[in-house]
Amino acid sequence: MKVCILGNGLISLTLAKSLINQGIYVDIFSSNNNFKYKKTQTIGISKSNVDFFNKNILNIKNLLWDINKIEIYSESLNNEKILNFNKQNEKLFSIIKNYKLYNLLLTSLKKSHKCNFKKILNPKNLLKKDYKLIINTDIFSPYTKKFFHRRIKKDYKSLAYTSIIRHRKLKNNIASQIFTSKGPLAFLPISNTETSIVYSYNGRDELNFKKIINRFNKFYKILSYQKVSSFELQLVNLRSYHHKNILAFGDLLHKIHPLAGQGFNMSLRDINEILRLISLKKKNGLDLDNSICKEFEDSMKHKNFIFSNCVDFIYEYFNFENKIKNNTLSKTVRYLGKNYTINRYFTKIADSGLII
């Protein structure tokens, strides 16, 4: 069995490695062979997805920094803590640098005889090749513009600014997020001396990044900043997941606000489902074909749509509070967060996704 993957980003390589581990040959086509991640980019991976990654894809334990506690604050309550998640010294999720994970996957794939990297010379002829299944993760692919342009899209009209700070050494296993009047600000530890910062800024005035960090930082004695980078924020859900034997995947399939750190986790759950469907095909002696595209859409489309809109609801919830200049909503969250059952339920959803 052979599968074609379009695109060579992090999701593409993760998917390719998971398929190879199932004995499937993979051809990866890309129009950009010099693809690189910025060193300030990090991702959070939930505990259940870390376990899935280590078991089914690649052992990444040495690259992870474990988070044991999450604290949520609100500027409308004078930066008072309104939510607190922990599992009694168990990790809730882990942080990893994008480029380190990417390089590890790339090195592993290049060593495998079941994986070939190819450059797209004539995209129009790709469909004529003998691939029963093509998985498209490339938002710039001609097939994206032709077959996957219909989407439910929301522009947040804001930018996410990211950087990594170096600071005095401390036990650094608590992730913090502050809902400021201009958007959520997250402090995500990656070592005892470094912390990743993601600030989703919806203000119209020019952002003074260091000034904002200094204003809300009460956790670290900062020594230096890495270069600040930014990207636009959107909510995207594709209306149709596939066209014949071409299946959309990764950021092409869905994009969400980074406030909950769930974008990569959603794609890992998608990969988990793909592997489940492939396992069923193999168990029944069936080859991979376009039927898996429809089965995947039927299984995951409604889950991804509901989950992504739940994340959007959280953003709009606190955004509405800032608009009306009333802290009643934060007080409500603080009250609900004290309920053990509700707190455990929120933690479970963040770890394994929405259970329907």
Query: How many helices and strands in the chain, by DSSP H and E?
Result: 9, 18
Winning range, highest mean pLDDT, from 203-207, 314-318, 339-343: 314-318
- So what's the pLDDT on residue 118? 86
Tokens matching residue 321: 């509070």
Give the alpha-carbon dihedral of 334, 339, 341, 343, to 10 degrees. Answer: 30
Average pLDDT over residues 253-278: 94
Among residues 221, 8, 207, 243, the alpha carbon closest in space to that of 103 is found at 8
What DSSP assignment string belongs to 292-352? HHHHHHHHHHHHHHHHHHHHHHHHHHHHHHHHHT--HHHHHHHHHHT-HHHHHHHHHHHHH
- So what's the pLDDT on residue 128? 58
Burial 237-248 (b: 16+ CB within 10 A, else e): bbeebbbebbbb
Amino acid at 183: G
- So what's the pLDDT on residue 121? 59
* Cα–chain center distance at 112: 26
Q: Answer yes or no: is pLDDT of 355 > 70.
A: no
Question: pTM (2 decimals)?
Answer: 0.92
Average pLDDT score over the chain: 90
Among residues 224, 247, 219, 252, the alpha carbon closest in space to that of 236 is found at 252
- So what's the pLDDT on residue 99? 94
330 pLDDT band (50/70/90 cuts)?
A: confident
- So what's the pLDDT on residue 127? 62
CA distance 232 to 151: 17
CA distance 188 to 94: 9
pLDDT of 134-165, one tens digit each?
999 998 888 898 899 999 999 999 999 999 99
Q: Answer yes or no: is pLDDT of 291 > 80.
A: yes
Q: Answer yes or no: is pLDDT of 346 > 80.
A: no
CA distance 256 to 236: 7
- So what's the pLDDT on residue 322? 82
pLDDT of 76-98, one tens digit each?
999 999 988 887 678 899 999 99
122 pLDDT band (50/70/90 cuts)?
A: low
**Domains (range + CATH), the chain:** 2-352 (3.50.50.60)
Amino acid at 76: S
- So what's the pLDDT on residue 251? 94
Average pLDDT over residues 296-309: 95
CA distance 70 to 93: 9
Q: Answer yes or no: is pLDDT of 20 > 80.
A: yes
